[in-house]
Structure 1
Amino acid sequence: MFSAVDVIRAKRDGGQLDDEQIDWVIAAYTAGEVAEEQMAALAMAVLLRGMTPSETARWTKAMVESGKTLDFGSVGRPTADKHSTGGVGDKITLPLTPLVAACGAAVPQLSGRGLGHTGGTLDKLESIPGWRAELSDTEIARNLRGPGAVVCAATEDLAPADRKLYALRDVTATVESIPLIAASIMSKKLAEGTESLVLDVKCGSGAFMKDLDQARELARALVDIGAANGLRTSSLITDMSAPLGRAVGNALEVDEAVEVLSGGGPPDVVELTVRLAREMLAHAGIGDVDPADALADGRAHDKWREMIRAQGGDPAAELPRAQHVEVVSAPESGTLTGLDAYRVGIAAWRLGAGRARREDAVQHAAGVRCLVKPGERVTAGSPLLELHTDSPDTIPAARESLEGASEISGADRTSTPLILDRIAPRD
């Protein structure tokens, strides 16, 4: 027989929790038998003392087993998924999902909504008239058998322990614990039932992980959890010091994703989309198809239209446009050597593209368009950014957020690679 106090004390004193202790405390917390204040104390102990890879893997497994798991074995194609830790202008799921499906894999993308300065994939897609995020398990499986791709909200009964613990961590200053972050991400992905997973761990000012060592630690924890639970997993660490692409906001990012699927789009968005697609296809055992070809010849765009229609959306419908657009001008001439992703993300949030609380609504037309990217030349007074919103009273606060966001120099910018590292399973 276990008690919450004994489990808390063991971790507080630097001990390693055994499998039975972890299984019990997660199940009891989900059932309401461990009080919120007791789990808060345990989460703080984990933050301060850490967890071993085996503890983290077992914690994740226990959270998966707190609810049901999906099984896509009847789909008839190998399943592959991608998860990003979140960034500014990170619309990669939108072109990536139909691209990988066009190459022969099935992609079950259970996604979330934005909170704060990082946008949510579902918010972006909901700017498409008629598109719906809430699907039943039957509809998810049907779409995977049909278009081969689905992006939707996770159902309430997938990893309910994670949903409960996530909310608790948010109000107890324990969000930063890498084992708890990794377990949260992976519990949902394991419950989703995909056969393989590629993780995009963002690193930089606009990401949760600000430095490369932190990002590597999280990426390693994620890959180790996947391996311990029989999931083919790898991770790319990618730069998020500047916004990804030129569009930050919901409908603005959908526009840019369609541009990529049409054979154009910003080079960084295209590069990351293709690199992640190759990684996913390799895990799925599909090595004889080059996703760059499927992007160039229109197959991925055709799959996008099919995928959007399957969830009630009209891919030909006009997207929302902001009622007010205001330009931010370059303060001087030279080369744009930096554009702070975090400040741009906060500006987009203040314009209405994001939410402060989960129950808040978003403006689908709001956001920031980056007219100049790092490495490009500007002249004093020329347009640098566009602010899009339906609420012009938000523009002064957005402008304030952007103070100091741009760095302009007379010297050329030293380019930073988009992909900083790759973390593979241990031998």
Structure 2
Amino acid sequence: MIERVVTVGVETQENFYYFDESMKELENLTQTAQGEVVGTMTQKRPTIDRRTIVGKGKLVELEALVSSTDADMVIFNHELTARQTAVIEEAVNVKVIDRVQLILDIFALRAKSKEGQLQVELAQLSYLLPRLSGQGASMSRLGGGIGTRGPGETKLETDRRHIRFKMTQIKQELKEIEKHRERSRKKRQESDTMQVGLIGYTNAGKSTIMNLLTKANTYSEDQLFATLDPLTKKWELPTGTQVTLTDTVGFIQDLPTQLIEAFQSTLEESKAMDFLLHVVDVTSTNRDQQEKTVLELLHELDMDHIPVLTVYNKADLLEGDFVPTLFPNCLVSAKRIEDKEKLTQDIMDFLKENLTKYHLLYTPAEMKDFNQLKEATLLETYEYDESLNEYELIGYAKNVARWKKGDSEDELEW
């Protein structure tokens, strides 16, 4: 069932720069959550009203707009307290949720794995715990739809102690899953395989890029948060190098802190990467702000030391000249199969710039490790020198010392 929604936003001195884009994003989020925006109310104020966000006069207008559009619910582009929600609901007489609840609801809709579902439930309970007081009436009125997915109203009507107990249980389950993830991550790190992570603003095209490179057949649609559960696939470069490519959940402006905390183990997956591909939608009218959001989150997650290649995507939809703002970068369309070769070459050039170049000499006996070296490093050339009865190997590696044989260590590293 498609719910009819009125969206509300207040432009203040703090958010005026990206306010219009944020409201458009709220509409897209609503559509992703299977809602239809039938009305929008915006207001300019120095700061939001502490009691009702919009003030008394606008609240009367909001009630009239809800009535005239026959809306089922109101979604605010601001985080609401329990008291604010109760006051606004009493005035408009329909369900009221905020941007955070909407995003959590979409995550609940998208979560497919056991871990993803647990993480979403933990985030929702973390959000609802401090808002239990004064929510009785609205909770009993919840009958499904946007803002009610996940734990469900029966769990939410229980007391704080029960919710805290449930949160503790979920955290314990997530710890067990994280142990398994950590073992898998450690195994990949010990294998010398280069690990590349896909990051970016939601709906930038990360999954489409992954499908282009690996034929992973991941869910890839023009939707916000189309991918929630991380997926790692092997990708073989033209040199024979074996690389792991990991697709992760998209970032978004004002990403709820509850989600960052609940998805810590999933985000840890990106922190273990050797290199990052930052996918950016070149057609976005708010590209600068989206890039800034991703870079700030990388800093918050202590990931800004990892080398990043910015992949400007959706070039097929680009109108006019393109001026990049992040470097190094490349411009492609994940929808064009011919761009696969270009993107692959750009990624290989990027890897070379951030790996250590080696020049090694292997005896025929030492060449037993050649296949391992070829899979774990970017091998450029190898030739047999009859006069020396040795193979000359030139390429790039994460850890050159791992591959040194005989006299190579003394003088042949560049």
| Structure with the largest fraction of strand | 2
Q: TM-score, normalised by structure 1?
A: 0.30
Tell me: higher relative CO, structure 1 or 2? Use CA pairs within 8 A at least 6 residues apart: 1
Computing the radius of gyration over CA atoms, which structure comes out larger, 1 or 2?
2
**Structure-2-length-normalised TM-score:** 0.31
